[in-house]
Amino acid sequence: MDDFHRKKLTRRSLLKSAAFLASAVVAAPLLTTRPAEAGDKVPKSAMQYRNHPNAGHECSTCIQFIPGKSAAANGTCKVVAGSISPHGWCVAYSPKS
């Protein structure tokens, strides 16, 4: 028989294998990423949101903005979390075509 089949199983080799397996089980979820979900929105502060227009650009003319019940009412955004003023602005601004 070759050396592979004659090798004894020692306590040391068993502990090494168990430690490696345990670390692999713990590390696996940390190394995987999940795709962004539709419900994931970014905080206002991260998008530099403000309640006033920027150089004539405002949320009401952005493709990401979802209007409220009236033109003056706050709405929501596909990107930014929370209540959004139609006259606000953030770095995700993208004009409607």
Task: Report CA 48 to chain centroid distance, whole Å.
Answer: 17
- pLDDT tens digits, one per residue of 79-90: 999 999 999 999
Which residues are 75's β-sheet partners?
Answer: 84
pLDDT at position 85, please?
Answer: 98
Out of 8-12, 41-45, 48-52, 68-72, pick the least confident: 8-12
pLDDT at position 23, please?
Answer: 80
DSSP-derived secondary structure for the chain: --HHHH----HHHHHHHHHHHHHHHHHHHHH---PPPTT--B-TGGGT-BSS-BTTB-GGGBTTEE--SSTTS-BEESSB-S-B-TT-B-TT--B--
Query: Which has the higher per-residue pLDDT, 43 or 7?
Result: 43
- pLDDT tens digits, one per residue of 20-60: 888 877 777 766 656 555 568 999 999 999 999 999 999 99
Positions of E strands within 1-97: 65-66, 76-77
Domain 40-96: CATH superfamily, name plus number: High potential iron-sulphur protein (4.10.490.10)
